[in-house]
A and B are shown apart, each in its own frame.
Chain A
């Protein structure tokens, strides 16, 4: 009957209970939705970085990473590709020629990274072919095609069909120039990537700078799913054990290539928890206040229960149960609404096109697809109930201090 009393007591002051349910629900919705938003932003940034920019894993000659010169190539690249392809869960492998260059148009210039790729292999590694907004992706059938980012096109005042002049160092160390016809313009969510990277056919770049077309200084690897990275890294370290030991190559996962992304994930998680704890602290005060009022309003009733012979443990449990019910109802309500909101924005995305320019500049898309881990839902629920229980200890102790003879005569 203790459960019945505690449950029914919730509905005695419907307005007050409704305010608390709403506070708890709004608190949970706030923390879950903010987590969903931040996780969505992080996911989008990480996924975009992997899909369009760095891929899951890259292999380089360690010396190349130090000075970026193309002479530091991956030894026996063809054989390495075959070994990598034998690993299960590999979606694609692409051997790239990558070097710094100056890009120029008739009226402007920019420092860029030029990547010579095999279009067929690159399609399996990078999603860039799907982000062409004008023209088409690279093809081996054409001579000297290039795809460039929309931002670079604007900067150099170039259009589809225009020629892009690049100046770079060839295999003999001589400065050389080449012209590439713009066949496609891409746009990712990262302006800084778009302004700095130009893609050409590897054989055309090879012809220009004199390195054989079957060589390269970067191997980009894409996995079937992102979360297989640790296993794939393990397999690669096993396959290239000797080369790694001899410092001929270095194998790095996306989070090692862009440590900022990794720290961003941790930072977003951290923010979510801070937000959750601020909300919980505010809830704690609301619950203490509500339960204190509930106890004070029912002084006579609690005195009567004590007079009849209800022991202190049961009085304490009754108030605790009331708070637990109060918090569970609020938390369930909050979770249901949160799940609905998260699912909605996970499907349709949250439109931030009004601030798209700023977001794109720092590498974020203007449409955020929310995501919340089940753990976060469970944790929010458990913490809310826990905080509610802790908050009701003080009001419950106050109830226990009542003297039945005095409490029964209390005017309410």
Chain B
């Protein structure tokens, strides 16, 4: 069974005033361990699709199944809890909690999952070491570069051991060195932990690393290519 199955997804914004059709009948399946990039021009519906796949938004029509659970059947509280235990997020502008250190940011999600303190501390340190900032665990986001902050965000996304990670333009604010390092880390995590990554991106460097590229335009999937051997 696919991890994610989107069936005939439509998303209309502003339904009552001037309707904007962001998605027009999207069907998509994501398998475990995939390293998928969703690409397309601005306004093509990438972010909308990503939000729906990540349970941050619900489709106007159609169904989205995550390992057999239809997200439309979940209450708002159940959906929050579902995200907590099943989906990791990496955002374009890092979105770390500015008052917490790198270690605390990584631990935070584990605390929400009620993981015991000792265990979560150990796990946070382990992940921060894996993303290469073991020496900056006590730094707050304001004391870290963009690339370092995004690495903490990746560590945080992985900490909750999600079924998949949604990354919306994760490299958009990074220089090429940081981008390459981050992509290498995510690819390594994908190989090591078999973590499933879904990116929305414009960045050719991300596309070059992706195992699968789904192209979207005008709210429809217009291309879906798989690259074996990457």
Number of interface residues of B (CB under 8 A): 29
Q: Is B139 interfacial (CB-CB < 8 Å)?
A: no
What is the distance, in angstroms, from B27's C-beta to the closest C-beta of chain A? 21
**Of the candidates A1, A301, A309, A409, which one forms a contact with B80 in the assembled complex, judged by CB atoms under 8 Å apart?**
A309
Q: Which residue of B lies closest to A308 (CB)?
A: B109
Q: Is B108 interfacial (CB-CB < 8 Å)?
A: yes
B95→A312 contact, CB < 8 A: no
Looking at chain A's contact residues, the main secondary structure is helix
B60-116 CB contacts (< 8 Å) to partner A: 76-77, 80-81, 83-85, 89, 91, 93, 95, 97-100, 104, 107-109, 111-113
B112→A5 contact, CB < 8 A: no
Distance in angstroms between the alpha carbons of A123 and B221 in the assembled complex? 105
Q: Is B51 interfacial (CB-CB < 8 Å)?
A: yes
Q: Is A100 interfacial (CB-CB < 8 Å)?
A: no
Query: Which residues of A lie under 8 Å from residue B57 when comparing CB positions?
Result: 403, 405
Q: Is B56 interfacial (CB-CB < 8 Å)?
A: yes
A1→B107 contact, CB < 8 A: yes
B84→A1 contact, CB < 8 A: no
What is the distance, in angstroms, from A319's C-beta to the closest C-beta of chain B? 14
Q: Is A12 interfacial (CB-CB < 8 Å)?
A: yes
Distance in angstroms between the alpha carbons of A405 and B48 in the assembled complex? 9
Query: Which residues of A lie under 8 Å from residue B109 when comparing CB positions?
Result: 308-309
Distance in angstroms between the alpha carbons of A306 and B54 in the assembled complex? 12
Q: Is A408 interfacial (CB-CB < 8 Å)?
A: yes
B91→A308 contact, CB < 8 A: no
Distance in angstroms between the alpha carbons of A306 and B112 in the assembled complex? 11
Query: Which residues of A lie under 8 Å from residue B111 when comparing CB positions?
Result: 1
**Of the candidates A1, A11, A300, A304, which one forms a contact with B100 in the assembled complex, judged by CB atoms under 8 Å apart?**
A1
Query: Which residues of B lie under 8 Å from residue A308 when comparing CB positions?
Result: 83-84, 89, 108-109, 112, 156
B99→A312 contact, CB < 8 A: no
Query: Which residues of A lie under 8 Å from residue B95 when comparing CB positions?
Result: 300-301, 304, 408
A1-26 CB contacts (< 8 Å) to partner B: 1, 4-5, 8-9, 11-12
Query: Which residues of B lie under 8 Å from residue A5 when comparing CB positions?
Result: 97, 99-100
Q: Is A404 interfacial (CB-CB < 8 Å)?
A: yes
A306→B104 contact, CB < 8 A: no
Query: Which residues of B lie under 8 Å from residue A175 when comparing CB positions?
Result: none
Query: Which residues of A lie under 8 Å from residue B93 when comparing CB positions?
Result: 300
Q: Is A307 interfacial (CB-CB < 8 Å)?
A: yes
Query: Which residues of B lie under 8 Å from residue A304 when comparing CB positions?
Result: 89, 91, 95, 97
A1→B104 contact, CB < 8 A: yes
Q: Which residue of A lies closest to B76 (CB)?
A: A312
Query: Which residues of A lie under 8 Å from residue B113 when comparing CB positions?
Result: 309
Query: Which residues of B lie under 8 Å from residue A409 when comparing CB positions?
Result: 47
Query: Which residues of B lie under 8 Å from residue A405 when comparing CB positions?
Result: 51, 56-57
Knowing A1-B104, A408-B91, the reply to whether A310 touches B98 (Cβ < 8 A) is: no
**Of the candidates A12, A306, A408, which one forms a contact with B98 in the assembled complex, judged by CB atoms under 8 Å apart?**
A12
Distance in angstroms between the alpha carbons of A5 and B219 in the assembled complex? 39
Knowing A1-B108, A1-B111, the reply to whether A309 touches B99 (Cβ < 8 A) is: no
Query: Which residues of A lie under 8 Å from residue B91 when comparing CB positions?
Result: 304, 408
**Of the candidates B56, B85, B99, B108, which one forms a contact with A9 in the assembled complex, judged by CB atoms under 8 Å apart?**
B99
B97→A312 contact, CB < 8 A: no
Max chain A Cβ within 10 angstroms of own Cβ: one of B91, B93, B98, B99: B99
Q: Is A311 interfacial (CB-CB < 8 Å)?
A: yes
Q: Which residue of B lies closest to A408 (CB)?
A: B91
What is the distance, in angstroms, from B57's C-beta to the closest C-beta of chain A? 4
Return the 6 tightest CB-CB contacts between A and B, nearest first: A309-B84, A8-B99, A405-B56, A304-B95, A405-B57, A405-B51
Q: Chain A residues in contact with chain B, CB under 8 A?
A: 1, 4-5, 8-9, 11-12, 300-301, 304-312, 314, 403-405, 408-409
**17 A/B residue pairs, CB under 8 Å, sorted by A:** A1-B108, A5-B100, A301-B95, A304-B91, A305-B97, A307-B56, A308-B83, A308-B108, A308-B156, A309-B109, A310-B84, A310-B112, A311-B77, A311-B80, A404-B56, A405-B57, A408-B56
